[in-house]
Structure 1
């Protein structure tokens, strides 16, 4: 065999290999999944989901996308920039109008439910020596409300609006991790957090005496009256070191997909998530709350994704 023949044979072999590799790459489905900034609950939930679900789904490439949180996730899902996202139920509802942070934008009629991810509280964190002991004390103080475009800013602003003190605080916009450091360094007086446990609070509580401000009963009633998508729940005493069980406003948070994600991919991702729910919860406690919650999601005005609906119908878990 001549060198020319050998070269041609090698070239042909490489071409076949390249085509085969290309075919494999084309068969792999890419999923861009929006969470939040580091230090936020959604960030870690998506991170552990990508790792665990990837063990069962080698043909699905899950990419964790760092975002501002729920508001940005919903907006980018609507634009088709994300395939999946963790989104507040209130944002799913508002996107159907559209109203609130989605006013003047396209209707979110491409949003599809996958599962209830968790129920998350909204609360204000300070230090024992800050001089802030009640939510009313936040007036005139520097309060970090979360990263721009996040669901945390949305929730915290709603809470302060309902209580009539939003225009009295000095709002600061920063990531959760930065807010934890800023509070520890005395650069702010408090920061707001949606969902728990949040790494920013957990890490700060390891070195400082952290205080989670309590809500009065009439404050909780006022919040629910002003914004019906909040309900009162109790954050367990085991959530943060030194913090007792505390009643606070909760909102439901969902795992949401764009309608364009293939039915088979969603169905297999959901199946894997429930099979690996213990492992997901070991990665972040919030995953322990995952459940179908179909009726409540559809009441927001958006349907379930066909892949999720098929899984729930076959498993008999569609509640």
Structure 2
């Protein structure tokens, strides 16, 4: 048995109570580092869903983000995770960050969590006005094992800029502080609103670097799992609406999580979606998206499928 908090898995439906009491199901749910969107999403979900599901014990697991979540799901170290659609797709091969490892054939879809943009942030007085101006600069790409590093590296590669920067790996919160202190020139962030960017924008003037139309087309041509979307002007203080590459992010479960547990968690999440969104705006985007998820090569979890079919939300 693993000597970690994952030793009790949802698959076992471990009884933590004494005989005659209801069993409690342990669910280890991977998010990201503090300062990242996934971290707060999982924290909010654990708090809100526990109010309706006292027999489901959700443990928020701090991770590097999407890449690590997918890898740990594949290894059986997590029961649920927030994972980029691109990572679900690549893990089925496996290729990219999953090359040489186990296939993600145990990943099951629960819901589309949100669509997230990838963008680069600098200080308003840095003199950096475009992505090309990052040449020779210190740029934080996210924490090791994160989906942010994956996305930022992909975009810089597509634009021919990856080899021209000085890449730094650090947590989102550390990157925000490092930029404010002048230790780095810019940092990259996936998903919004991100706490690290919001907090920095409250005390300093920031710039989110714009993408040209040609750059957006080049990113989509190089990596088809990105599409162009617009980050609204209300996202960060002083930042106008900006077009940028988006990727779709999913709530994913391991196949071992019991059908009834997932079904009840999904039902509670939709019933409490307003409360979840009040905790973090990204939850307001949650929807079934069942057809698009299955195009990634993985099926929906039977519990989620049962809920969607019974409520007329299944998409073929």
Which TM-score band applies after superposition, normalised by the shorter structure? Answer: over 0.9
1:102 aligns with 2:98: yes
**Alpha carbon RMSD of aligned pairs, Å?**
1.2
Q: Which residue of 1 aligns with 2:186?
A: 190
Q: Which residue of 1 aligns with 2:75?
A: 79
Residue in structure 2 matching 1:128, options 108, 124, 127: 124
Q: Give the TM-score of the pair, scaled to structure 1.
A: 0.93
Alpha-carbon distance change, 133 to 271 in structure 1, aligned in 2, over 3 angstroms = same
Residue 318 of structure 1: how far off its partner (Å): 1.4
Residue 21 of structure 1: how far off its partner (Å): 3.9
Residue in structure 2 matching 1:55, options 51, 58, 61: 51
Alpha-carbon distance change, 20 to 192 in structure 1, aligned in 2, over 3 angstroms = closer
Residue 20 of structure 1: how far off its partner (Å): 9.6
Residue 111 of structure 1: how far off its partner (Å): 0.1
Q: Which residue of 2 aligns with 1:11?
A: none
Residue in structure 2 matching 1:218, options 214, 220, 223: 214
**Structure 1 segment 15-54 matched on structure 2, within 5 A:** 21-23=17-19, 27-54=23-50
Alpha-carbon distance change, 20 to 101 in structure 1, aligned in 2, over 3 angstroms = closer
Which structure's residues are more often helix, by fraction? 1
1:74-106 deviation digits (Å, cap 9, x = unpaired): 000000000000000000000000000000101
Q: Which residue of 2 aligns with 1:298?
A: 294
* Structure 2: runs of 5+ lacking an equivalent: 1-14
Distance across 1 between alignment mates of 2:16 and 2:76: 29
1:259 aligns with 2:255: yes
* Structure possessing the higher radius of gyration over alpha carbons: 1
**How many pairs were matched up?**
301
* Structure 1: runs of 5+ lacking an equivalent: 1-18
Runs of 4+ in structure 1 deviating by more than 3 angstroms, as ranges, are 23-26
Distance across 1 between alignment mates of 2:68 and 2:276: 24
